[in-house]
Amino acid sequence: MAGNICRCGTYQRVRAAIHSAANQVMKGQTTRGKA
Amino acid sequence: MNAQVQPSLPDVDESLRELIRDMESGGAVTTFRAVKLDRRGFLKLTGLAGGGLVLGFSMSRESEAAASAAGGEFAPNAFLRIARNGSILIYNKGPEIGQGIKTAFPLIIAEELDAKWSDVKVEQAPVNPAVYGRQSAGGSRSIPDSWDQLRRAGAVARQMLIAAAAAQWKVPAAECTTADSVVMHGHRKAAYGALAARAATQPVPDAATVKLKERKDYRLLGKWYSGVDNRAIVTGQPLFGIDQKLPDMKYAVYQRCPATGGKVRSANLDEIKRLPGVRDAFVIEGNGKATEVMPGVAIIADTTWSAFEARKQLKVDWDDSAASKDSWTALARRAAELAKLPAGELPVANVGSVDAALAGSAKTVSGLYTYPFVAHAPLEPQNCTAWKHDGIVEFWSPTQTADRAIELVAGALGITPDKVKINQTRVGGGFGRRLMNDYMCEAGAIAQRIDVPVKLTWTREQDMAHDFFRPGGFHSLTGGIDAQGKLVAWRNHFITVTQDGKSPSSGAGWAGNQFPGLNLPNYQLTQTLLPIRTPTGPWRAPGSCAVAWVIQSFLHEMAVAAGRDHRDFLLEVMGAPRLLEGGLNTGRAADVIKLACEKAGWGRELPAGHGMGLAFHFSHAGHIAEVAEVSVDGERRVRLHRMVVAGDIGPIVNMSGAMNQCEGAVVDGFSTMLGLEITMENGLIEQSNFHQYPLLRMAQHPRVEVHFIQSDNPPTGVGEPALPPVAPAICNAIFAATGKRVRTLPLTREGFTA
């Protein structure tokens, strides 16, 4: 994500979303995680 | 001063100044601007809405609601419609520029309606200020200006639903209650959908006297809501201006003179017209107003690609004899000379006797503060779709000022306002840039030449070259402290820019009643005006976005000189709790200053190389204090670890939205003060794209914590007020960490890096 610009400055939430998605994948809670 | 005489754009700048005045009006007081609608207004609205869409009535005593009740729907006013199946459609009247108004406005209506939020669907309202009142997003005024109007729109509907249920059950209306889209009485319950048809036949109560909820009874407001468009955004739905597509649409580019004020002598139009995909190319004389249509060359093509490629082949012979020759280095050099004068030629404010107080001070400090021009740089470049058809010109526009655009565009095109129809799209970033509608006027002018819809798209480079920049400025300050360490005198010679030679350019002024003008026994503010041609305009928290840095940094300088704790010193200057002219409430200010310090752990031990900095600013009716924690390493790399924001903006509508605005303001403020500047030489803007205008990236973003003091004070918007304290809090923290005082922005000018 380092190359992306968010002009409205939502980096904190984007980062939180990445962690949230990563955790779900780890726990097998997403389709991809289960596959 | 012997200002170079240049042709100016005074009328343009006056309209921008008026816009800023409008945005800043009622800084402390909420005004109710609901518009009553008569039958003619109703017909006008439904005519505009077209396509069989029946919106209903605005808030009117006239009991005509039955006319809109076709199909058993309940449409008590132009803001909402309840269907038989219980679904509630709410129209968002304001421009959604990423600030979250498309979620916040419907929440306010839903709260007073006592609706279940999951029953609500939101659509963008037609642009019709005669029905909706203000339809602009600027000055953080959306919430305060519409708060009462929207609450009453919801409350009127709720009262009619109760009346319908009471009539059905033959019970007194006063004994009925509501919650989650249901009216209740004893054991009886009726869903809003089931009551819709009957509610539509009830008399419409007077919106001005309808009962509103108290804050303690809110069920929806103040909680955390995702944006109503979030799913559509993350799945790439065409919501934005630049996404618009219409049948048979063509695509246009418009080349203006790179230096403001230049005219077209000639261009290789015949050659351009022969290029693949090009339909037409022509010169537009324009009316010479930067806010409307400047002279240039338009190219219409089958695709955006063809149009952009053709533009690369365009050769224009510009007559730049009357164009801008502005030079930032010349401005800065002249300002440095003028800064030696204790006062400018134009008095702005004078309290007590500054000269005598400085002469009698135990200690004085002087400094020259300099900040640059900056660009708005929204990620969606300016664009607009226009279509001349059936005697009107119809627009699909990502504008912040849909209401004002009607008359502006009509005037620029020489048609009457009733021949202009505007559709509001989502806006990919405003920051003040889209308060101006120059790209709309250009699209309208181009659309006059073709009988199909045409979309004008600017390139990133054009967007950066033809902005209405936040003006740069220079403040020469001297402050005095008495023997007890109290701040007793403040003198500011503000060297700023002007278009007309008489008053500061749009966004370049500073009022005498701004802090600390009314907080000190001796205060003097004077101005000197330097003429420029480069268009300037409102940029997120106009004036405050730059001057708060000067004031709150210099105040810290004085605290340091006095050997005092910054927090205590700031609270002392704020003084006893009272409401000052201009809206600053010193009690609310003190409360947020104390809260920010408490949450940040003000005064605690920090690791080596770390420092903490405090700043407060009041703007747009919002009281905000911030504490930054930074570290600076041996290579002068600045890292912002944490920013604590404490704000009092009245009651919160959407907690997620309000926090998001503060988080974004911190990133924007940090980004801008760290490394952004626009410079110009010989009238040409020197930065063209993000490689020269490096917006903050994810790796540098700080942790932001936001705390609100919720009160019954009138609510205000928070798109702007959290930005001004960012730069001074960071610079004060840099001083705490390094002992180095930053008096020039961006930080890169002082040798710092990210």
Environment class of residue B603 by beta-carbon count within 10 Å: exposed (0-12), middle (13-18) or buried (19+)?
A: exposed
In the block, residue with structure tokens 């005024």 = B141
Cα B353-B356-B362 angle, rounded to 5 deg: 120
Decide if B385 contacts B249 (C-beta within 8 A).
yes
pLDDT score of B56: 34
Q: Is B378 close to A7, i.e. CB distance below 8 A?
A: yes
Q: Is B664 close to A10, i.e. CB distance below 8 A?
A: yes
CA–CA dist B623, B635 (Å, integer)? 36
B interface test, pick of A12, A14, A15, A18 with most B CB neighbours within 10 Å: A12
* Cα B596 versus chain centre, distance: 24
Q: What is the mean pLDDT of residues B46-62?
A: 32
- Which chain B residue is nearest to residue A16, measuring alpha carbons? B703
Q: Which residues contact B523 (CB under 8 A, 6 or more apart)?
A: B349, B350, B351, B352, B354, B489, B490, B491, B516, B517
Decide if B630 contacts B680 (C-beta within 8 A).
no
3-state secondary structure B633-690: CCCCEEEEEEEEEEEECCCCCCHHHHHHHHHHHHHHHHHHHHHCCECEECCEECCCCC
Note the pLDDT tens digit of each residue in B311-370: 999 999 999 999 999 999 999 999 999 999 999 999 999 999 999 999 999 999 999 999
- Would an 8 Å CB–CB cutoff place B668 in contact with chain A? yes
Per-residue confidence band for B20, with pLDDT thresholds at 50, 70 and 90: confident
Q: Is it the case that residue B633 has pLDDT exceeding 50?
A: yes
Helices (H), B519-635: 544-561, 566-574, 586-600
Decide if B395 contacts B386 (C-beta within 8 A).
yes
pLDDT score of B223: 98
In degrees and rounded to multiples of 5, residue A20 shows phi and psi of -60, -45
Closest CB from B377, B660, B704 relative to A7: B377
pLDDT score of B35: 36
Closest CB from A1, A3, A11 relative to B667: A11
- Would an 8 Å CB–CB cutoff place A32 in contact with chain B? no
- Would an 8 Å CB–CB cutoff place B662 in contact with chain A? no
Q: Rounded to a whole number, what is the distance in Å from the CA of A28 to chain B's nearest CA?
A: 22
In degrees and rounded to multiples of 5, residue B485 shows phi and psi of 80, 20
Q: Rounded to a whole number, what is the distance in Å from the CA of B241 to chain A's nearest CA?
A: 17
- Would an 8 Å CB–CB cutoff place B55 in contact with chain A? no
Q: Is it the case that residue B209 has pLDDT exceeding 60?
A: yes
DSSP H or E run through B613: strand B610-619
Note the pLDDT tens digit of each residue in B445-492: 999 999 999 999 999 999 999 999 999 999 999 999 999 999 999 999
- Would an 8 Å CB–CB cutoff place A13 in contact with chain B? yes
- Give A-chain residues touching B378 at CB under 8 angstroms: 7
DSSP H or E run through B370: strand B363-371
- Give B-chain residues touching A8 at CB under 8 angstroms: 98, 429, 664, 668
Q: Is A11 close to B695, i.e. CB distance below 8 A?
A: no
DSSP B69: -
pLDDT score of B31: 31
Per-residue confidence band for A30, with pLDDT thresholds at 50, 70 and 90: low
Percent of chain B residues topping a pLDDT of 70: 92
The residues that bridge with B121 in the sheet, in sequence order, are B89
- Would an 8 Å CB–CB cutoff place A35 in contact with chain B? no
In degrees and rounded to multiples of 5, residue B637 shows phi and psi of -85, 125
Structure token digits, residue B600: 């940040």
Q: What is the mean pLDDT of residues B196-222?
A: 95
Q: Rounded to a whole number, what is the distance in Å from the CA of B726 to chain A's nearest CA?
A: 14
Laid out side by side, the sheet with B346-351 consists of B346-351, B523-531, B487-498, B473-481, B363-371
CA–CA dist B474, B371 (Å, integer)? 7
Query: How far is the first Cα of chain A from the last one, in angstroms, to the nearest whole number?
Result: 25
B interface test, pick of A7, A14, A15 with most B CB neighbours within 10 Å: A7
- Would an 8 Å CB–CB cutoff place B697 in contact with chain A? yes
pLDDT score of B542: 97
CA–CA dist B218, B114 (Å, integer)? 9
pLDDT score of B435: 97
pLDDT score of B657: 98
Helices (H), B457-537: 460-465
3-state secondary structure of B425: coil
Per-residue confidence band for B12, with pLDDT thresholds at 50, 70 and 90: low
DSSP H or E run through B193: helix B192-199
CA–CA dist B424, B427 (Å, integer)? 9
Give long-range contacts, CB 8 A cutoff, 24+ apart: B406-413: B406/B127, B406/B129, B408/B291, B408/B292, B408/B437, B408/B440, B408/B441, B409/B437, B409/B440, B409/B441, B409/B444, B411/B292, B412/B287, B412/B289, B412/B292, B412/B293, B412/B441, B412/B444, B412/B445, B413/B441, B413/B444, B413/B445, B413/B448
Structure token digits, residue B403: 């209401």
Closest CB from B665, B671, B698 relative to A2: B698
Q: Which residues contact B545 (CB under 8 A, 6 or more apart)?
A: B470, B539, B669, B672, B720, B723, B724
CA–CA dist B464, B687 (Å, integer)? 7
CA–CA dist B685, A13 (Å, integer)? 34
Question: Angle B655-675/A11-26 helices, nearest 10 degrees?
Answer: 120
pLDDT score of B45: 39
Decide if B555 contacts B573 (C-beta within 8 A).
yes
Q: Rounded to a whole number, what is the distance in Å from the CA of A7 to chain B's nearest CA?
A: 6
- Give B-chain residues touching A10 at CB under 8 angstroms: 660, 663-664
- Would an 8 Å CB–CB cutoff place A6 in contact with chain B? yes
- Which chain A residue is nearest to residue B668, measuring alpha carbons? A9
- Would an 8 Å CB–CB cutoff place A14 in contact with chain B? yes
CA–CA dist B263, B285 (Å, integer)? 8
- Give A-chain residues touching B726 at CB under 8 angstroms: none
- Would an 8 Å CB–CB cutoff place B655 in contact with chain A? no
Per-residue confidence band for A32, with pLDDT thresholds at 50, 70 and 90: low
Q: Is A11 close to B666, i.e. CB distance below 8 A?
A: no
The residues that bridge with B612 in the sheet, in sequence order, are B629
Instruction: Provide the residue count of chain A.
Output: 35
Q: How many CB atoms lie within 10 A of CB B167?
A: 15
- Would an 8 Å CB–CB cutoff place B696 in contact with chain A? yes
Closest CB from B660, B666, B690 relative to A5: B690
CA–CA dist B80, B84 (Å, integer)? 13
Closest CB from B378, B690, B698 relative to A11: B698
Q: Is B697 close to A14, i.e. CB distance below 8 A?
A: no
pLDDT score of B8: 46
pLDDT score of A31: 59
Q: What is the mean pLDDT of residues B256-276?
A: 97
Q: Is it the case that residue B58 has pLDDT exceeding 50?
A: no
Q: Is it the case that residue B1 has pLDDT exceeding 90?
A: no
Note the pLDDT tens digit of each residue in B707-727: 999 999 999 999 999 999 999
Note the pLDDT tens digit of each residue in B268-320: 999 999 999 999 999 999 999 999 999 999 999 999 999 999 999 999 999 99
Q: What is the mean pLDDT of residues B587-613?
A: 97
pLDDT score of B11: 57
Q: Is B703 close to A12, i.e. CB distance below 8 A?
A: yes
A interface test, pick of B698, B701, B705, B723 with most A CB neighbours within 10 Å: B698
CA–CA dist B670, B672 (Å, integer)? 5
pLDDT score of B21: 74
**Burial profile B666-684: b = 16 or more Cβ within 10 angstroms, e = fewer:** bbbbbbbbbbbbbbbeebb
* Cα B700 versus chain centre, distance: 24
- Would an 8 Å CB–CB cutoff place B661 in contact with chain A? no
pLDDT score of B484: 97
Q: Rounded to a whole number, what is the distance in Å from the CA of B227 to chain A's nearest CA?
A: 13
Q: Is B663 close to A15, i.e. CB distance below 8 A?
A: no
Decide if B360 contacts B484 (C-beta within 8 A).
no
Note the pLDDT tens digit of each residue in B149-178: 999 999 999 999 999 999 999 999 999 999
- Would an 8 Å CB–CB cutoff place A19 in contact with chain B? no
Per-residue confidence band for B18, with pLDDT thresholds at 50, 70 and 90: confident
Q: Is it the case that residue B30 has pLDDT exceeding 50?
A: no
Q: How many CB atoms lie within 10 A of CB B128?
A: 26
Of B301, B235, B234, nearest to B274 by C-alpha is B301
Mean of the per-residue pLDDT values of chain B = 92
